[in-house]
A = this chain, B = another copy of it.
Amino acid sequence: MQHKKVRFHNSHVDYYFDSSARKLKQLADPRLSVILTDENVFAAHPKIFANWNTIVLKAGEQFKVQDTVDAVIEQMLEMGVDRQYTLVGVGGGVITDIAGYTAGIYKRGIRCGFVPSTLLALVDASIGGKNGVDVGAYKNMVGLIRQPAFILHDLSLLNSLPEAEWVNGFAEIIKHACIKDAGMFRQLEEKSTSSYRKQRKLLAALVQKNVMLKNRVVQKDEFETGERRHLNFGHTLGHALENQYELSHGQAISIGMTFASILSGQLSNFKNADRVVGLLENYGLPTFAQFDREKAMQVLSKDKKKENDTIHFVLLERIGKAVTKPVSIDHLSKALS
């Protein structure tokens, strides 16, 4: 176990790397806490929840909506939850997003913490304070930027993770390597999913490296006016596709990263689109795909990062070095065809 305190603009987050869910009771008082989880995590790890007030949600992104938040808030009111309570999200990104958002608005804000249960949540979704819910086909249209008080890692939770969820997590890890860390990109090229799954120390080091990489970006730009946008590499098109098709988040952003890499060749002189595509494929991710261009453009034009008729698109200059460039909706539409 390693403890790191990561400081943000108005707050800090206590990270407990490679630790155990048993430590949770040292971070939050079970009598003054509510755990939010989903039925899959609850069924796979029943011991975690013994002696805690627990609200169990249906699993899936389709439940990451305001109605779910409303129902959670009503249950918390019924339980008599006051401002001294901590809300703990134990689960993947959907759960940490709902828990962070609900804690931010319940009685105008209560303490919250996360125990991420997926690789994606460990290396990305739980980090940086962004939370919220989807509205119709539009992802994360409502939410807050608010840091949790703590994030507790227990890698043994990954033992119940289906194969597809590993692939999902590696999509964000590859994204981090693309935008910030050529050394990690090379390590990923040398290894494979199974090397990380078999060697716990190698995995723990990879997770911690990704957490600190993302935190460094967020620390420089917590409220997303500049560098934090780099984390959206592959996400602009990715989000447009994700809710339209039966794609996981990782699959959608993998296609998005492929598109952004090729666009980078046209607009920022990037030479290594083939290496990005190759790495994504090695980790079981889709790269080129048929999709409805018109529908994708429709969703892109509602992107929350859009300013007038231009999207700030994240491109690569080289492996490990991202830039943001304004790209017109017109240009995107042509590039997509």
Contacts and interface: CB of A to CB of B under 8 A. Distances in A.
A142 B106 contact: yes
A123 to B, nearest CB: 21
A77 interface: yes
A308 B83 CA distance: 10
Q: Which interface residue of A73, A108, A138, A301 has the most chain B CB atoms within 10 A?
A: A108
Contacts of A145: 108-109
A66 interface: yes
A290 interface: no
Interface in A65-105: 66, 70, 73-74, 77, 80, 82-84, 104-105
A201 interface: no
A66 B70 contact: yes
A132 interface: yes
**Size class of A's contact patch?**
35 or more
Contacts of A180: none
A141 interface: yes
Contacts of A10: 9-10
A97 to B, nearest CB: 11
Contact of A144 (B73, B105, B307): B105
Nearest to A305: B83
Interface in A287-325: 301-302, 304-308
A7 interface: no
Contacts of A30: none
A82 B144 contact: no
Name the residue among A66, A105, A306 with the largest chain B CB count within 10 angstroms. Answer: A105
A135 interface: yes
Given A9-B10, A10-B10, A105 B304 contact: no
B302 A80 contact: yes
A132 B135 CA distance: 19
Contact of A132 (B80, B82, B105): B105
A225 to B, nearest CB: 10
Contacts of A104: 144
Chain B CB within 10 Å, residue with most, of A104, A223, A304: A304
Contact of A74 (B9, B109, B132, B135): B135
A23 to B, nearest CB: 25
Contacts of A197: none
Given A77-B141, A82-B307, A105-B143, 4 more contacts: A84-B307, A108-B142, A108-B144, A108-B145
22 contacts: A9-B10, A66-B70, A70-B135, A73-B135, A77-B136, A77-B302, A82-B304, A82-B305, A82-B306, A82-B307, A83-B304, A84-B307, A84-B308, A105-B142, A105-B144, A106-B141, A107-B141, A108-B130, A108-B143, A108-B144, A109-B144, A109-B145
Closest CB pairs A-B (n = 3): A107-B304, A105-B142, A108-B143
